[in-house]
């Protein structure tokens, strides 16, 4: 009882003390949808981590809102020869502690990336092709690569630069403890409480445009409803990933302004092609065992694609927060195929194709998908189940938690599954190599090709296309490869998601294709 | 007494060991942490590197052995996700959960006992019946639903309370607490009430039942006959007697509250241990799951011990030895 | 709801032997609330049993759903001309049908798990009481251990490792519930063991199993029934909570809890009916069962007799 009285006393005291006044001036509170796990920019290659790191650290090449590479800490770059890239660095850039940024820091960073201890997702992915970093002078650096690597500048849009002053093998914990959190970014980090919030203070020595905000409170609210209600209640100024179910209401709400952009994330279905005889989750129309794999027939794959009403999914399930598609990327990308439109639903044609392939009465199948990974994942999966059922393929739907789902999908345990792919590079080389090319550990291709689709002729086209350095020529080659992959229904692409931000009506945000939320891009409306 | 404590301790160690084995096997069965942690862009070489970096390429028994050896030295492993010692992560989140649970306990006692007394003393009055009806409602409402209703009404519609998060904190004993600032208290009000609802109903019913069982008893009649004022009979004599089961249940419930905070923390985005465990399960962060469970087992054993000790203090008739 | 949102366990005391069933009924009927609750429980069970014949749609058949009918408000007309009295959810599922079928799942999970837990728990409790000694100590140690951990946490762990599904949820619920039955059965049996009829039976040298199951068990039933009623309500709530956390039943065959969880996302946008009506159905079900359990305890516990 004594303790209780003490507690009550403390409550009252706190009530009297109240909040420090004036903290609100030029403070931006934003809510992100996923929690960064670390402040170490090389620890875990994960969207939320990279998003927070952007505020603190800088990269040689920065992606613009449309995901096109542009100057960052490097002003310009060129291919000296097939296997050498040269970067000219921006002069006069300083780290938060006042040290100058220069070529030696670039060399230090590239050398540090593979040494991060216990990294569950390394940035080595982007720097592995580099065999040597040559410091030409303080502001010029050359990178030698094993083979021709036309996408190296794009790969470097993922790698944050650290000061060489951190010494040998700086520990991830010291970044989280903010001791090592020393970058060239527009903000310094002043507090980091994982899964709760980070606090940022403006770096007045920043080389670029000075952000409007003196302080930024970077809150992490993964729960969709909680994020929306935090915005409506005025607790936060900006939220990312506005839940689609709240879109219609928020659009009509005067308390909220919105910003949106078509994202680099494409939703797709994969049909298992690893088996020749039978499928674990496919049976005949009356439940009889099938000794063939219907998906081996391109007509069946095409029929399944035609049976889907993409527009209905976009309108009804995604509530407009997506764009129907028949390829990987949205218009504006280097490798966008202009005349490849999203297939229109055509149930008659689908039934005809099924009949031609020898399944006049369809078959039974189960479609799997995750239930906690992508926007509306389990709802979309169910909607597709409805559409396939109506086209004569009696479909069951099973939605699993991500750990369960992805483990089984990677072992080819499903006959068909729903997933989505974020195309970080902004061009089709990435999904073609990861999703369509034959699974080959040696070459590093097909790493996410869980259907085990394999087309050697297409593999060659993809390999050739991704080694072209000239942007325009590579774009044309990628367009040809994309067309071939879609024609063969290597996978069924459904729609590109839209990234949507919600904010107080007096604020504006430059919507980004890459889902990132950057405090310096939030401005006060004129 | 000492043998009794010793026995409890041995039991605790055994339970913890069993727990760790189950979790090790369980995580292995459910999926591959690498698949969840790794960047989707990663190729096969990067995957192999990550597997080796986390020590997941070794056979399970070897991983377990390594864990056991570490555990003996107080090292429960590093989180796959955060690359920090699992114990440190949990210790960081614990204050948030503890203060939420403690506030809920206080709320349930402060609201539950007076309501229960009233319902017990006037079982047939309208007030008494209403309280009892409401208490059934308190049991029956799923707490996640109540949580959302609270947010809808108090944060969105009325705008009185902040919807989610922990708000401002202040330091006490080197730890950040929300209950020390007005802003933090405002953030805590709804989640604490949400968490407390079931317990308010429980304490209320226990109190009422206690009053109804005690009132017809001889000592009450004697006390009344002796001319002690009715309020003194109720508030001193009866209350003292019914406090024993209430203290026991409330004590045991602290553990339940800490566990149930999983749901409340999810709804109110409260950054406590419960949210950590849900997140960790979702990404199969085995070291954190194992460490959390070991901590919980320990916590429960300690709570049960304290309740048993309190029991002897409150009721001298109970001797620990008899519990064997 | 909270963990041990259980009223105190019923004392292991029996109604006097001579009490006939009629007396029990009349005592039960003393409370009008309890009678209404009982009728409600009967109605709910009937709805759940006959859902396929009562509901306008089979909400589990994807071919009968159309996303174009999604999120219609209560009273909207379906393309075939019938009315969605309680509106539709995001998949175009008729909420009324969804609730009827959802009741089926919720009740069968709740009742099913409680029954299995009851059989296992009671058997172990009786064995413990009758065998005594080491076996008794071992079983009761296990019971104490089980009860010292919050059900939600244990269930959460089990489901996290087994994955979702009706069977797994039931398994998890059985694992968290058996111990309460065991404890209740044991204490009831210990009281019974001292009664004269048991002495008499022992003197007749009847086989042990016969003694326990034919003679002792029927007399231990009242407290077990009381605790069982309450545990059914608790199992339903627990299942709803697990489904809410994304670990419960599969998405295409939603229980009441999952219907609420699905509608939860739409609460802020004013589409209250997706979450509200299943919530009411769940609330009424659990309240009715709890009220019945409450009255049963009052009737069966002579210490509370006026």
The residue of B32, B33, B38, B100 whose CB has the most chain A CBs within 10 angstroms, and thus the best one to mutate to test that interface, is B38
**Cα(B105)–Cα(A354) distance, integer angstroms:** 63
Q: What is the mean pLDDT of residues B31-45?
A: 81
pLDDT band, residue A306 (cuts 50/70/90): very high
**Cα(C49)–Cα(C107) distance, integer angstroms:** 10
Shortest distance between the Cα of A265 and any Cα of chain C, in A, equals: 22
Report the residue of chain B nearest C243, measured CA to CA. Answer: B144
CB contact under 8 A, C269 and A404: no
Of A371, A379, A395, the CB nearest to C91: A379
The residue of B18, B97, B105, B136 whose CB has the most chain C CBs within 10 angstroms, and thus the best one to mutate to test that interface, is B136
Of A317, A396, A400, the CB nearest to C90: A317
Q: What is the mean pLDDT of residues A191-217?
A: 92
Q: Does B159 touch chain A (CB under 8 A)?
A: yes
Of C68, C252, C268, the CB nearest to A382: C252
Give the pLDDT confidence score for residue B321 in this predicted structure.
Answer: 43
**Is pLDDT at A9 greater than 80 in this prediction?**
no
Q: With contacts defined as CB-CB under 8 Å, which chain C residues touch B11?
A: 141, 145
Of B199, B201, B263, the CB nearest to C245: B263
Of B26, B142, B296, the CB nearest to C282: B142
Q: Which chains reach chain A with 3 or more Cβ–Cβ distances below 8 angstroms? A: B, C
Give the pLDDT confidence score for residue C19 in this predicted structure.
Answer: 54
Give the pLDDT confidence score for residue A20 in this predicted structure.
Answer: 37
Give the pLDDT confidence score for residue C18 in this predicted structure.
Answer: 53
**Is pLDDT at B164 greater than 80 in this prediction?**
no
CB contact under 8 A, A316 and C252: no
**Cα(A506)–Cα(B255) distance, integer angstroms:** 46
**Average model confidence (pLDDT) across chain B:** 79
CB contact under 8 A, A119 and B50: yes
Q: What is the mean pLDDT of residues C58-84?
A: 87
pLDDT band, residue C305 (cuts 50/70/90): very low
Q: With contacts defined as CB-CB under 8 Å, which chain B residues touch C245?
A: 262-263, 266, 278
Q: What is the mean pLDDT of residues B264-293?
A: 82
Shortest distance between the Cα of A56 and any Cα of chain C, in A, equals: 34
Pairing between β-strand A215-220 and β-strand A27-32 as defined by DSSP bridges: parallel
Shortest distance between the Cα of C205 and any Cα of chain B, in A, equals: 32
| Residues A501 and A247 sit within 8 Å (Cβ to Cβ) | no
Give the pLDDT confidence score for residue C306 in this predicted structure.
Answer: 36
Q: Has the ipTM of the complex gone over 0.85?
A: no
pLDDT band, residue C301 (cuts 50/70/90): low
Q: Does B26 touch chain C (CB under 8 A)?
A: yes
Q: Does A409 touch chain C (CB under 8 A)?
A: no
Give the pLDDT confidence score for residue A206 in this predicted structure.
Answer: 95
Residues 191 through 230 of chain B touching chain C, CB cutoff 8 Å: 195, 197-199, 201-202, 205-206, 209, 212-213
Report the residue of chain C nearest B252, measured CA to CA. Answer: C148
Q: What is the pLDDT of residues A149-168, one digit of tens each?
A: 899 999 999 999 999 999 98
Task: Give the residue ranges of DSSP H helices in A198-323.
Answer: 224-232, 244-251, 298-306, 310-312
∠ CA B262-B263-B265 to the nearest 5 degrees?
Answer: 70
Q: What is the mean pLDDT of residues A192-219?
A: 92
Token pair in block for residue C63: 């071919």
**Is pLDDT at A193 greater than 60 in this prediction?**
yes
Give the pLDDT confidence score for residue B316 in this predicted structure.
Answer: 56
Q: Does A345 touch chain C (CB under 8 A)?
A: no
Shortest distance between the Cα of A397 and any Cα of chain C, in A, equals: 7
CB contact under 8 A, C150 and B259: yes
Pairing between β-strand A61-63 and β-strand A364-370 as defined by DSSP bridges: unpaired
Q: With contacts defined as CB-CB under 8 Å, which chain A residues touch C251?
A: 371, 378, 382, 397-399
Give the pLDDT confidence score for residue B311 in this predicted structure.
Answer: 65
Among A411-420, A514-523, C94-103, C180-189, which is the least confidently predicted range? C180-189
Residues 257 through 276 of chain B touching chain C, CB cutoff 8 Å: 257, 259-260, 262-263, 266
Q: What is the pLDDT of residues C202-237, one digit of tens each?
A: 777 777 777 777 777 877 888 888 888 888 988 998
Q: What is the mean pLDDT of residues B127-156?
A: 79
Report the residue of chain A nearest B156, measured CA to CA. Answer: A233
Q: Which has more pLDDT, C172 or C4?
A: C172
Determine phi and psi for A220, rounding to 5 degrees: -115, 110
Phi-psi region of C75 (alpha: psi -120 to 50; beta: other; left: phi over 0): left
Give the pLDDT confidence score for residue C8 in this predicted structure.
Answer: 47
Q: What is the pLDDT of residues B182-228, one digit of tens each?
A: 777 778 888 888 888 888 888 888 888 888 777 777 777 777 777 77
Q: What is the pLDDT of residues A492-501, one digit of tens each?
A: 999 999 999 9
Give the pLDDT confidence score for residue A523 in this predicted structure.
Answer: 94
Report the residue of chain C nearest B24, measured CA to CA. Answer: C161
**Is pLDDT at A302 greater than 90 in this prediction?**
yes
Q: What is the pLDDT of residues C7-40, one digit of tens each?
A: 444 444 555 555 567 888 888 888 888 899 999 9
| Residues A470 and A477 sit within 8 Å (Cβ to Cβ) | no
Q: Does B40 touch chain A (CB under 8 A)?
A: yes
Q: What is the mean pLDDT of residues C46-68?
A: 90
**Cα(A322)–Cα(B184) distance, integer angstroms:** 38
Q: With contacts defined as CB-CB under 8 Å, which chain C residues touch B307?
A: none
**Is pLDDT at C75 greater than 70 in this prediction?**
yes
Report the residue of chain C nearest A391, measured CA to CA. Answer: C63
Q: Does B266 touch chain A (CB under 8 A)?
A: yes
Q: Give the closest residue to A410 by CA, choosing from A370, A383, A374.
A: A370
B/e letters for C152-163, b = 16+ CB within 10 Å, e = fewer, are bbbbbbbbbbbb
**Is pLDDT at A132 greater than 90 in this prediction?**
yes
pTM of the predicted structure, to 2 decimals: 0.84
Q: Which has more pLDDT, C93 or B28?
A: C93
Give the pLDDT confidence score for residue C15 in this predicted structure.
Answer: 52
**Cα(A518)–Cα(A50) distance, integer angstroms:** 11
CB contact under 8 A, C294 and B260: no
Report the residue of chain A nearest B88, measured CA to CA. Answer: A173
Q: In whole angstroms, how far apart are CA A303 and each of A184, A308, A343, A386, C62? A: 53, 9, 11, 15, 19
Give the pLDDT confidence score for residue C7 in this predicted structure.
Answer: 46
Give the pLDDT confidence score for residue A375 in this predicted structure.
Answer: 92
Give the pLDDT confidence score for residue B315 in this predicted structure.
Answer: 61
Largest CA distance in chain B: 87
Token pair in block for residue B5: 């404590």
Give the pLDDT confidence score for residue C17 in this predicted structure.
Answer: 53
Q: With contacts defined as CB-CB under 8 Å, which chain C residues touch B139?
A: 1-2, 5, 233, 286, 290
Residues 360 through 389 of chain A touching chain C, CB cutoff 8 Å: 371-372, 378-379, 382-383, 385-386, 389
Give the pLDDT confidence score for residue C20 in this predicted structure.
Answer: 67
Give the pLDDT confidence score for residue A18 in this predicted structure.
Answer: 34
pLDDT band, residue C61 (cuts 50/70/90): confident
The residue of C57, C158, C269 whose CB has the most chain A CBs within 10 angstroms, and thus the best one to mutate to test that interface, is C269
Give the pLDDT confidence score for residue B245 in this predicted structure.
Answer: 76
Q: With contacts defined as CB-CB under 8 Å, which chain C residues touch B253?
A: 2-4
- Cβ pairs A/B, distance under 8 A: 181
Give the pLDDT confidence score for residue A422 in this predicted structure.
Answer: 92
B/e letters for C51-73, b = 16+ CB within 10 Å, e = fewer, are beeebebbbbebbbbbbebbbbe
Q: Which has more pLDDT, A103 or B96?
A: A103
| Residues A376 and A317 sit within 8 Å (Cβ to Cβ) | yes
Q: Percent of chain B beyond pLDDT 70? A: 92
CB contact under 8 A, A121 and B38: yes
Among A209-223, A249-263, C270-284, which is the least confidently predicted range? C270-284
Q: With contacts defined as CB-CB under 8 Å, which chain A residues touch B159?
A: 233-234
**Cα(A49)–Cα(A61) distance, integer angstroms:** 18
CB contact under 8 A, C267 and A399: no
Q: What is the mean pLDDT of residues A321-348?
A: 94
Q: Give the closest residue to B303 by CA, choosing from B313, B295, B315.
A: B295
Q: Does B239 touch chain A (CB under 8 A)?
A: no
**Cα(C211)–Cα(C198) distance, integer angstroms:** 8
Among A248-262, A278-292, A323-337, B209-223, which is the least confidently predicted range? B209-223
**Average model confidence (pLDDT) across chain A:** 90
Give the pLDDT confidence score for residue B170 in this predicted structure.
Answer: 67
């Amino acid at each position: 009882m004594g303790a209780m009285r003490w507690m009550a006393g403390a409550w009252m005291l706190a009530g009297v003390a109240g909040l420090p006044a004036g903290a609100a001036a030029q403070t931006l509170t934003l809510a992100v949808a996923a929690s960064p796990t670390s402040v170490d920019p090389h620890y875990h290659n994960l969207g939320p981590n990279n998003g927070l790191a952007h505020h603190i650290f800088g990269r040689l090449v920065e992606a613009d809102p449309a995901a096109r590479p542009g100057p960052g800490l490097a002003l310009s770059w060129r291919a000296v020869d097939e296997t050498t890239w040269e970067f000219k660095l921006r002069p006069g850039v300083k780290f938060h502690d006042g040290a100058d940024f220069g070529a030696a820091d670039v060399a230090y960073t590239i050398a540090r990336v593979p040494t991060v201890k216990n990294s569950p997702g390394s940035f080595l992915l982007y720097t592995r092709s580099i065999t040597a970093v040559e410091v030409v002078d303080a502001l010029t650096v050359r990178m030698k690569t094993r083979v021709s690597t036309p996408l190296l500048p794009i790969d470097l849009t993922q790698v944050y630069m650290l000061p060489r002053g951190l010494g040998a093998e700086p520990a991830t914990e010291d970044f989280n403890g903010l001791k090592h959190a020393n970058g060239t970014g527009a903000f310094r980090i002043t507090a980091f409480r994982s899964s709760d919030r980070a606090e940022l203070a403006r770096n007045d020595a920043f080389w670029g445009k000075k952000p409007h905000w003196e302080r930024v409170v970077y809150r992490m609210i993964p729960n969709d409803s909680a994020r929306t209600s935090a915005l409506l209640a005025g607790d936060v100024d900006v939220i990312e990933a506005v839940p689609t179910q709240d879109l219609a209401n928020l659009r009509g709400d005067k308390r909220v302004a919105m910003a949106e952009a078509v994202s680099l994330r494409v939703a797709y279905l994969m049909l298992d092609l690893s088996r020749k005889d039978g499928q674990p989750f496919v049976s005949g129309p009356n439940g009889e065992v099938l000794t063939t794999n219907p998906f081996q027939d391109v007509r069946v794959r095409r029929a399944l694609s035609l049976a889907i009403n993409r527009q209905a999914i976009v309108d009804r399930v995604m509530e407009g927060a997506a764009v129907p598609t028949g390829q990987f990327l949205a218009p504006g990308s280097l490798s966008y195929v202009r005349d490849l439109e999203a297939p229109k639903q055509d149930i008659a044609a689908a039934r005809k194709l099924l009949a031609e392939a020898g399944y006049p009465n369809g078959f039974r199948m189960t479609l799997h998908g995750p239930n906690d990974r992508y926007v509306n994942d389990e709802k979309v999966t169910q909607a597709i189940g409805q559409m396939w059922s109506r086209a004569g393929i009696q479909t069951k739907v099973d939605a699993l938690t991500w750990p369960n789902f992805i483990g089984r999908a990677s072992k080819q345990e499903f006959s068909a599954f729903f997933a989505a792919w974020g195309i970080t590079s902004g061009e089709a080389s990435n999904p073609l190599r990861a999703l369509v090319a034959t699974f080959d550990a040696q070459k590093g291709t097909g790493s996410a090709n869980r259907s085990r689709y394999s087309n050697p002729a297409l593999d060659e086209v993809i390999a050739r296309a991704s080694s072209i350095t000239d942007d325009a020529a590579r774009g044309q080659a990628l367009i040809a490869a994309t067309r071939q992959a879609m024609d063969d229904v290597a996978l069924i692409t459904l729609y590109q998601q839209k990234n949507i931000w919600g904010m107080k009506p007096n604020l504006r945000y430059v919507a980004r294709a890459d889902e990132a939320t950057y405090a310096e891009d939030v401005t006060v409306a004129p | 007494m000492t043998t009794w404590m010793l026995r409890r301790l041995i039991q605790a160690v055994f339970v913890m060991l069993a727990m760790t084995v189950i979790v090790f096997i369980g995580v292995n069965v459910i999926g591959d942490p690498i698949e969840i942690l790794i960047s989707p862009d990663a190729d096969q070489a990067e995957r192999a590197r990550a597997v080796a970096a986390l020590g997941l390429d070794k056979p399970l028994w070897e991983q377990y052995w390594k864990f056991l050896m570490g555990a003996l030295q107080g090292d429960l492993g590093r989180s796959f996700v955060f690359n920090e010692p699992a114990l440190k992560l949990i210790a960081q989140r614990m204050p948030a959960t503890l203060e939420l649970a403690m506030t809920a306990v206080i709320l349930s006692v402060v609201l539950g006992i007076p309501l229960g007394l009233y319902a017990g003393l006037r079982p047939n009055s309208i007030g008494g019946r209403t309280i009892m009806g409401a208490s059934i409602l308190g049991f029956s409402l799923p707490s996640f639903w109540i949580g959302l209703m609270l947010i809808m009404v108090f944060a969105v519609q009325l705008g009185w309370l902040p919807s989610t998060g922990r708000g401002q904190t202040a330091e006490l004993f080197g730890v950040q607490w929300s209950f020390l600032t007005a802003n933090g208290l405002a953030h805590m009000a709804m989640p604490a009430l949400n968490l407390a609802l079931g317990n308010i109903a429980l304490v209320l019913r226990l109190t009422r039942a206690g009053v109804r069982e005690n009132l017809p008893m001889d000592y009450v009649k004697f006390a009344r006959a002796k001319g002690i004022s009715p309020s003194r009979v109720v508030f001193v004599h009866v209350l003292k007697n019914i406090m024993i089961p209430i203290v026991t249940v409330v004590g045991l419930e602290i553990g339940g509250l800490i566990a149930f905070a999983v749901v409340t923390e999810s709804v109110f985005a409260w950054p406590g241990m419960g949210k950590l465990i849900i997140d960790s399960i979702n990404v199969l962060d085995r070291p954190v799951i194992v460490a959390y469970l070991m901590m919980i087992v320990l916590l429960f054993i300690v709570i049960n011990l304290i309740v048993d000790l309190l029991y002897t203090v409150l009721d001298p008739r109970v001797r620990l030895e008899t519990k064997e | 709801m909270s963990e041990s949102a259980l009223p105190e366990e019923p004392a292991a005391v029996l109604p006097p032997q001579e009490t006939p069933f009629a007396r029990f009924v009349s005592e039960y009927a003393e409370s009008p609330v309890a009678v209404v609750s009982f009728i409600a429980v009967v109605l709910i069970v009937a709805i759940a049993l006959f859902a396929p014949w009562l509901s306008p749609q089979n909400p589990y058949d994807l071919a009968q759903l159309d996303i174009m009918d999604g999120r219609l408000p209560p009273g909207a007309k379906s393309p075939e001309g019938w009315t969605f009295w309680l509106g539709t959810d995001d998949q175009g599922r008729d909420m009324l049908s969804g609730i009827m079928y959802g009741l089926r799942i919720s009740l069968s999970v709740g009742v099913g798990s409680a029954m299995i837990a009851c059989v296992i728990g009671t058997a172990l409790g009786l064995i413990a009481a009758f065998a005594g000694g080491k076996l008794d100590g071992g079983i009761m140690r296990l019971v104490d251990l089980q009860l010292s951990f919050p059900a939600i946490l244990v269930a959460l762990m089990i489901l996290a490792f087994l994955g979702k599904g009706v069977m797994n949820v039931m398994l998890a619920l059985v694992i968290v519930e058996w111990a309460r039955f065991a404890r209740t059965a044991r204490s009831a049996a210990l009281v019974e063991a001292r009664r004269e009829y048991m002495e008499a039976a022992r003197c007749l040298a009847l086989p042990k199993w016969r003694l326990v199951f034919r003679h002792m068990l029927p007399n231990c039933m009242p407290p077990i029934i009381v605790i069982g009623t309450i545990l059914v309500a608790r199992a339903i709530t627990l299942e709803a909570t697990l489904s809410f956390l994304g670990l419960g039943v599969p998405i295409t065959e939603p229980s009441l809890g999952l219907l609420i969880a699905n509608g939860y996302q739409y609460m802020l946008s004013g589409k209250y009916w997706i979450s509200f009506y299943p919530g009411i159905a769940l609330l009424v079900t659990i309240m009715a069962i709890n009220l019945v359990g409450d009255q049963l305890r009052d009737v069966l516990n002579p210490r509370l007799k006026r």
